[in-house]
Amino acid sequence: MKVNVKAALSDAHLDASQSSSQRQLCLSLSALQEGLEHSLPLNLCLVLDHSGSMNGKPLTTVKEAALGLIDNLQASDRLSVIAFDHKAKVIVPNQAVTDGAAIAKNIQSLKALGGTAIDEGMKLGIQEAGQSKQDRVSQIFLLTDGENEHGDNERCLKLAQVAADYNITINSLGFGAHWNQDILEAIADTANGSLSYIERPEQALETFSQLLSRMQTVGLTNPYLRLEFVPQVRLAELKPIAQVEPETVELTVQAESNGYEVRLGDLMTEQARVILANLYINQLPPGEQVIGSVQVRYDDPSQGATGLLSEKIPLTVTVQTLYQAQPNDQAQKAILTLAKYRQTQIAETKLKQGDRAGAATMLQTAAKTALQLGDQGGATVLQTNATRLQSGEELSEAERKKTRMVSKTTLQSN
């Protein structure tokens, strides 16, 4: 496996007469398969809410979804299952998936009772997943339908950081309408995973299946993006870098002695991670100029190798005395994708502040951005909710959650 890196500036031409220019750097990163195709062995931990509110169809369908995963795992994969209410317990200890019947029996035994302590489930999940993470793709599917009333949200975020430090990805799955979207999103973002919304119980099987399929395409783990720039170039100070595909996430930048470093999620073979960085470039002399480089540090579990480095990709611009713009389509798409997310965030903030008119205006703006992207489903959700606010209606919890989801990604049709 190698890292496939493609870099493009929003406009690779600069005006030589300008003292400063702003450009967006769009990076596409994926794992490049070499030779025969093969899947890395998986280390999957399910952390499942079985509190009283999951009684009936919710828990039944979640158990069916979990059982469906077993059928799609290989004997070389490992699985563990944690169940939590106001406390947590190990239902299936970390083990090879060789006795599916015994694993299924333990999952089937789950009953709905008690309250909700998400952090207790996360703690046990990290402990179980941590036992077999060597040379594997290690991920946790964390599912809950409620608020963390018996737990500590700050502890959840600290545990998400622990998981990331252990190279364990956490994917958050919000079930129904009453989970805390801010916390579940923060957990997923911190632990380099994704946020999923299971609006109706029957969607659980499809959501689990999609996450597993994505996990099975991981080729390289523990990637760090490394950016180096010449003295005339710097990252923006406010929100300098974000991921825009497969979902939008604001990323944390660490300044290094010779540049910047950014932690990314696992690199997949079938879907690229698209990163957008905001640059300021001071005046440069006319001609072709190298303004920096891009490199990725990563682990290759198939080789048992850690801390590998991709080749450095130079970043170049053409400085013109007679400036002619050269916009890049992929970068422009990434810019619009990030704009849709940030516009929706502003709308949510205004709604929390009681500014319904301001929220509606920003949702309309986000809907127009979604249309520019060709995201008809997202545009419909955003415009519908804007219209409801304008007519004096309240947005339901489900509508607020769907708004968040369409801001982060392109809405998938059911």
Between 410 and 39, the higher pLDDT residue: 39
Q: What's the pLDDT score for residue 218? A: 96
pLDDT of residue 160 exceeding 80: yes
**pLDDT bracket for residue 287 (50, 70, 90):** very high
Residue 93 lies in a domain: yes
d(CA 280, CA 190): 27
Q: pLDDT (tens digit, 9 = 90+) per residue, 13-35? A: 999 999 999 999 999 999 998 76
pLDDT of residue 233 exceeding 70: yes
Q: Taking phi first (over 0 means left), then psi (-120 to 50 degrees means alpha), and beta for anything else, what does residue 304 get?
A: left
Residue 212 lies in a domain: yes
pLDDT of residue 271 exceeding 50: yes
Phi, psi (5° rounding) for residue 307?
65, 30
Phi, psi (5° rounding) for residue 297?
-100, 135
d(CA 156, CA 147): 12
Residue 400 lies in a domain: yes
- CB of 30 within 8 A of CB of 333? no
Residues 237 and 344 in one domain: no
Question: Which of 290, 306, 327 represents a domain boundary (last residue)?
Answer: 327
Q: What's the pLDDT score for residue 411? A: 53
Owner of token pair 């769907």? 402
Among residues of the chain, what percentage have pLDDT more than 90? Answer: 93
Q: What's the pLDDT score for residue 36? A: 56
Residue 413 lies in a domain: no
- Average pLDDT of span 209-221: 96
- Angstrom CA distances, 352 to 200, 204, 342, stand at 26, 30, 15
Owner of token pair 């809410």? 49
d(CA 109, CA 77): 23
Residue 64 lies in a domain: yes
- CB of 85 within 8 A of CB of 114? yes
Question: 73 lies in which domain range?
Answer: 42-216
Residue 72 lies in a domain: yes
Q: What is the mean pLDDT of the chain?
A: 95
Question: Which of 201, 216, 231 represents a domain boundary (last residue)?
Answer: 216
Residue 414 lies in a domain: no
Q: How many CB atoms lie within 10 A of CB 91?
A: 20
State the CATH number of the domain containing residue 152.
3.40.50.410
Q: What's the pLDDT score for residue 256? A: 87
Q: pLDDT (tens digit, 9 = 90+) per residue, 72-124? A: 999 999 999 999 999 999 999 999 999 889 999 999 999 999 999 999 999 99
**pLDDT bracket for residue 414 (50, 70, 90):** very low
Residues 56 and 205 in one domain: yes
Q: What's the pLDDT score for residue 34? A: 76
Residues 334 and 372 in one domain: yes
- CB of 294 within 8 A of CB of 7? yes
Residues 287 and 334 in one domain: no
Which letter, b or e, does each residue of 202-214 get, where b requires 16 or more Cβ atoms within 10 Å of its Cβ? Answer: ebbbebbeebbeb
- CB of 363 within 8 A of CB of 382? yes
Q: Residue 293 is inside which H or E element, if any?
A: strand 287-300
Question: Which of 216, 242, 269 represents a domain boundary (last residue)?
Answer: 216
Determine the straight-line distance between the first and last CA of the chain, rounded to whole angstroms.
Answer: 33
State the CATH number of the domain containing residue 236.
2.60.40.3670
Q: pLDDT (tens digit, 9 = 90+) per residue, 384-413? A: 999 999 999 999 999 999 999 999 987 544
Residues 87 and 154 in one domain: yes
ω into 93 cis (within 30 of 0): no
Residue 295 lies in a domain: yes
d(CA 131, CA 134): 8
pLDDT of residue 37 exceeding 90: no
pLDDT of residue 299 exceeding 80: yes
Residues 125 and 46 in one domain: yes
d(CA 159, CA 155): 6
Residues 145 and 286 in one domain: no
Residues 257 and 115 in one domain: no
d(CA 324, CA 328): 13
- Average pLDDT of span 48-52: 96
DSSP states of 137-154: EEEEEEEESS--TTS-HH
Residues 102 and 200 in one domain: yes
Residues 142 and 290 in one domain: no
β-pairing, 20-32 vs 233-235, is unpaired
pLDDT of residue 272 exceeding 80: yes
Q: Is 176 helix (H, G, I), strand (E, B) or coil?
A: coil
Q: pLDDT (tens digit, 9 = 90+) per residue, 164-204? A: 999 999 999 999 989 999 999 999 999 999 999 999 999 99
Number of domains, the chain: 3
Residues 147 and 277 in one domain: no
Residues 306 and 338 in one domain: no
